[in-house]
Amino acid sequence: MLKIIQMVVNDKPVEVAVDGRESLLDTLRNRLGLTSVKRGCEVGECGACTVLVDGEAIDSCIYLTAWAEGRRILTVEGLRGPNGELSPIQTAFVEEAAVQCGFCTPGLIMSAVEIVGSGKKYSREELRKLISGHLCRCTGYQNILNAMERIVNETYKVVGDGK
Amino acid sequence: MGIGKSINRVDAVEKVTGGAQYTDDFSVPNCLVAKVVRSTIANGWVKSFDLSEAEKVPGVVKIVTCFDTPDIQFPTPGHPWSVEPAHQDVSDRKLLNRRVRIYGDDIAAVIAEDEVAAARAARLMKVEYEEYPVYITPEQAMAEGAVAIHEENPDNVLKHSAFHIGDVDFDQAIAGEDVRIVEGEYQTQTVQHCHIEVPVSYAYMEKGRVVVVSSTQIPHIVRRVIGQANGIPWGKVRVIKPYIGGGFGNKQEVLYEPLNAFLTMQVGGRPVKLELSREETLSCTRVRHAIDLKVKTAVRPDGRLVARQVIAVSNQGGYASHGHAIVANAINNFRHTYHDEKSLQADAYTVYTNIASGGAMRGYGIPQAAYAMESHMDDIARAIGMDPIELREKNCMQQGYVDPMSGITCYSSGLLECIRKGKEYIHWEEKRKAYQDQTGPVRRGVGMALFSYKTGVYPISLETSSARLILNQDGSAQLHMGATEIGQGADTVFIQMAAETIGFREENIHIVSTQDTDVAPFDTGAYASRQTYVSGMAIKKTAELFKSKILDYANYMLKIPADQMDIRDGNIVNKESGEQLLTMEKLAMEAFYSLDYSVHITAETTNHCKDNTFSFGVCFAEVEVDIPVGKVKVLDIINVHDSGTLINPRLAEAQVHGGMSMGLGYALGEQLLFDDKGRPLNNNLLDYKLPTSMDTPELHADFVQPTDSSGPYGNKALGEPPAISPAPAIRNAVLNATGVAVNSIPMNPQKLVEQFQAAGLI
Amino acid sequence: MYDIEKLYLAKSVPDAIAALTADPDAVIISGGSDVLIKIREGKLAGCSLVSIHGIRELNGVFMEEDGTILIRPATSFSHVTYHPIIQKYIPVLGDAVDQVGGPQIRNIGTIGGNVCNGATSADSASTLFALNAQLELRGPDGSRRVEIADFYKGPGRTDRAHNELLVAIRVRKKDYEGFGGHYIKYAQRNAMDIATLGCAVNVKLNPAKDAIEDMRLAFGVAAPTPIRCHKAEALANGQKISQSLFDEVGKTAVTEVSPRTSWRASKEFRLQLVEELSKRALKQAIINAGGAVNA
């Protein structure tokens, strides 16, 4: 019943035996101990389980692990610097009081990684759309957008027009 | 030192790195999975089960049904227990129920090796029922000949209560008076909390005791109810509450922990995980009560309220949960917020039906009351041609008010200042003028609403809380609380409070975030916006005791009278000059390891709070209404709050944002629907319209900060209030824009189009 | 964990067709955003899956020699939206699929899956109707082409046989060149929602840009399948742009649709939206086609 899957998780090659019925959410949480990936609805509506697969944000609850063969997976556990320092996105979430209960936070941070990674400058309205796949009941999204705007602007200053 | 500073949350780093552990993040070896089997009728009896197919499913360990559980009825709301039977909560629930009262009622449970096996077995169970008619509304449930949903309440009325303020009734009050009568009926809908973490628990046995790890706001109450429901001594139960992914009142309820405790006992103490799906969470846990409020007011031409009558009918759903307390709170708020010259009569009914059970949800009946009361105030203002703000200012609660029924005193009020700030922000005068006489398909309007809200549950219930401080060798301290962090920032402000009173830096106070009922001090938990007030007072008392013990030890070491020393920045100083006399580390090391006089400096006190006060606030909103398609766009919105002194302004602001967002959903979109068989129609996050980031405008929050003399640090309720006034403010803004008074929420597009058509706007 | 009996990861189109032929009960899964949800709901619990996820030949957007735009079905919504060919020639389709669910769903959900579900609410469908898209289906006996208007057979039912795969969606040059388009997704929420009504207009103006040469008006959720409003189109073609034209188009469209009442929305409400949104979508499409609207 088990099948060996090879993937790169948080920059580390991983070989893991999985049940073919598992979602990537199940595998990351239960087999790899990456519990930042949260289960909130299991149907791709809340965004709490968002991870990056080959750089794109997806809901890991509706992604079969079998599809992850050979792909690169990134979760919040993979964001810290070599000495354990927070990434600028994580720092922005802390300092902008964008965190309350914290359950939607890791997923949102992963979307932020995708957004910031594009190197583009986004308006606040565009950012609203880019995080609209995450439901948050605590913050009204206000401080999350503040954190996103801050980090997008900081990155744009450094990276410029992506040139 | 600690109060009024916007320090970062103490748990933020853990939460952005994935280090914060929630219930499901604890890895339990060999854990079994339980699934609740749910009824497919909404009213009736389970007559029998056929388990033959289900038991054959590989991986099924055990199936228990409602014929196997103890015949014990227990209460589920997170209220402090009352030692007086008359004040105890309604005990109308069993671990599993033969008498089915809602669609999806808990009738059996499957314990299996994995969730697929559990789900397969649940699908294969055959159930024979005896079916009764289904009642969705209080009107249906109260009709002649309706079947009793609970035998204890033959007419399906869980409770009726009433009060009357003034010496005369409504008709006597208006006799011979020059008054205008304004009447309205305002309807609120069923909504759900939608915390992003679903209810989940692990249960196992250890040394003959049951341990339950659960996502709850109220660990000590969960422990009590597990004991009550299973008929086991409370000391045999240990409840552990890790970080939780939101609660908003739904986890101020003992949901499935007692059943999970029972299940682990059925499999010899093996760990069992019981996690609800989102669908179960929406329709099988608790909801905010749909309450209909009829309001009749006699008002003088100058805007003075002479008399009011209120009748509120609350749809309880299948089980009592918090029951009548919520609608009672709603009608009490009519008495608190505005004062009538002669008379106020109020009646409240709580009626069992066959929909999801109403329980606690952020605001506890006041969002419903405020929607009706504040919509009605605008209707009155229109009727007498008065500015709605002037009308409110003329009649609202003033500082010094004492509730004639409960004795709750208004020690401080910044309400008028809140109104002034909100008015100025939204440009009230100019916009009300500019938006007169609009034509065309798209129109704008501004509206406002206010609220008053009491802090905690005294004197209706007990308010009690303990805190504990322990000095560490390095001169830092541990803070142990029974009060819970549920995302609102409690741990952070608790640290700030302790730091303030002891004279420590915040970073030298380490809070133990997890409550483990074996070691955490007693506190009833996070609800009623009580913790900064009630538990905050426990921190203050404990911190004062802790400080005096430290100074006593400093006196032993330095031979300086304790009253001539103080603690500043975590060190012992001369009280007068501020000169540093001794570092805390040196004191602590001596206290721990002195061969002459070893003392472990700890402090623990109980705060039995016998006081209460009111917090206040307003919401101002500007909207644009696209009439032909029934869409309301909120162009600008602000909440201004008086919650007394803010402990952490940044976190307070964040708390307001979240409440406003919940209020916006309440106003414009959220509604849990049931068909005529009681089946939920939209119990998922696609069809239940929780606002997304694209449905949420920029949220503005402001404060006024009078010091409340009853609050430990001048503070009063903040957690729930932000959700109260956005819905009526938006309703009143739509009224201002279109002239159409929408008297039910949510004001969703179809409803608006229908009302605009009826008003001839389309 | 999903209640899946068997999962077959097809390596190529012929491999997938062979797997489907071998198992008459197997269900095709591509992005997963619909099928996995049905498995979890219990509707497809215990099913066997043939996965076409990650088959390279089913992915991408291309320009054929004759100017036909070819969209491979397993292209994700976000890749459709951001593809330069789509952005340059048929931005209306990119905009339409950019309104599906939320960003994560658009990174995984595929345009082919959206079409093959047969749902009237699919955000791509009304726009593909207004573009006269043509579908290519491949089975054990080879390929066939079907006009999209003939593909939908009823709610959730399509012309695709069990062992056929959708392998291409084509938009011909004559159906996009010179056209301006606009799609309005009307839903209660502005994201993560299902359309209460979807309205797509594609319009080509005369050289003076003051009259309509060719207008296509299509709706989702206005009938059991996506539909075109041919009467309203015929009425508009050749007419000068004017407010009265918009009003007539709206009124005529209402006569051509047959929405139903459900708990999500009433028939009457949907009819009101049909009338209003056809006007709004037409106006915006005219602007996008280089025309001016003074109303």
d(CA C57, CA B639): 55
What is residue B1's predicted lDDT score, i.e. its pLDDT? Answer: 63
Task: Please give the average per-residue pLDDT across C129-156, as a whole number.
Answer: 97
Contact by Cβ (8 Å): A100, B491: no
Structure tokens at A7: 């993937």
């096996």: which residue's tokens?
B117
Choose from B686, B748, B757 for mutation: most chain C CBs within 10 A. B686
Query: Which residues of B touch chain C, with CB atoms under 8 Å apart?
Result: 114-116, 119-120, 123, 628-630, 669, 673, 675, 681-682, 685-687, 689, 691-695, 748-750, 753-754, 757, 762
d(CA A108, CA C115): 30
Burial annotation B325-347 (CB, 10 A radius, 16+ → b, else e): bbbbbbbbbbbbbbbbbbbbbbb
Contact by Cβ (8 Å): B643, B708: no
Q: Which chains touch B (3 or more CB pairs under 8 A)?
A: A, C
Task: Please give the average per-residue pLDDT across B174-183, as a whole number.
Answer: 97
Q: Give the nearest chain A residue to C106 (CA atoms).
A: A58
Query: Which of C113, C139, C137 has its CA nearest to residue C18?
Result: C139
Degrees, nearest 5: CA angle B453-B454-B456: 135
Task: Please give the average per-residue pLDDT across B240-251, as a whole number.
Answer: 98
Over residues C84-115, the pLDDT tens digits come to 999 999 999 999 999 999 999 999 999 999 99
Residues 6+ apart with CB under 8 A from C84: none
Tell me, what's the ipTM?
Answer: 0.97
Inter-chain CB proximity C3 and B693 less than 8 Å: no
Residue A162 has pLDDT above 60, yes or no: no
Please, what is the average pLDDT of chain B? 97
Degrees, nearest 5: CA angle B468-B474-B477: 15
Residue B341 has pLDDT above 60, yes or no: yes
Choose from C7, C193, C267 for mutation: most chain B CBs within 10 A. C193
Q: pTM higher than 0.95, yes or no?
A: yes
Degrees, nearest 5: CA angle B267-B271-B273: 110
d(CA B412, CA B454): 12
DSSP-derived letter for residue A14 is E
Alpha helices for B175-284 (secondary structure H): 219-230, 257-266, 278-284
**Confidence class for position B2, pLDDT limits 50, 70, 90:** confident
**Confidence class for position B610, pLDDT limits 50, 70, 90:** very high
Structure tokens at B755: 């009302």
**Confidence class for position B27, pLDDT limits 50, 70, 90:** confident
d(CA B525, CA C161): 59
Q: Give the nearest chain A residue to C7 (CA atoms).
A: A20
What is residue A160's predicted lDDT score, i.e. its pLDDT? Answer: 62
What is residue A1's predicted lDDT score, i.e. its pLDDT? Answer: 66
Q: How far is B533 from chain A (nearest CA, A)?
A: 20
Backbone phi and psi for residue B204, each to the nearest 5 degrees, phi listed first: -155, 170
What is residue B8's predicted lDDT score, i.e. its pLDDT? Answer: 98
Query: Which of A20, A17, A60 has its CA nearest to residue C8?
Result: A20
Displacement of CA B23 from its chain's centroid (Å): 21
Nearest beta carbon to residue C101 from set A23, A131, A133: A133
d(CA C163, CA C17): 6
d(CA C75, CA B240): 47
Instruction: Please count the other Cβ atoms lying within 10 Å of the Cβ belonging to residue A124.
Output: 12
What is residue A163's predicted lDDT score, i.e. its pLDDT? Answer: 43
What is residue B671's predicted lDDT score, i.e. its pLDDT? Answer: 98
Separation in Å, CA C220 to CA A162, B472, B761, C153, C238? 38, 67, 27, 14, 26
Displacement of CA B663 from its chain's centroid (Å): 13
What is residue C265's predicted lDDT score, i.e. its pLDDT? Answer: 97
Inter-chain CB proximity B694 and C191 less than 8 Å: yes
Give helix A142-159 / helix A88-95 axis angle, nearest 10°: 140
Instruction: Please count the other Cβ atoms lying within 10 Å of the Cβ belonging to residue B36.
Output: 23
Residue C276 has pLDDT above 90, yes or no: yes
Over residues B473-512, the pLDDT tens digits come to 999 999 999 999 999 999 999 999 999 999 999 999 999 9
């020690």: which residue's tokens?
B411
Inter-chain CB proximity A62 and C192 less than 8 Å: no
Helix, strand, coil: what percent of chain C each, to 5?
35, 25, 35
Please, what is the average pLDDT of chain C? 97
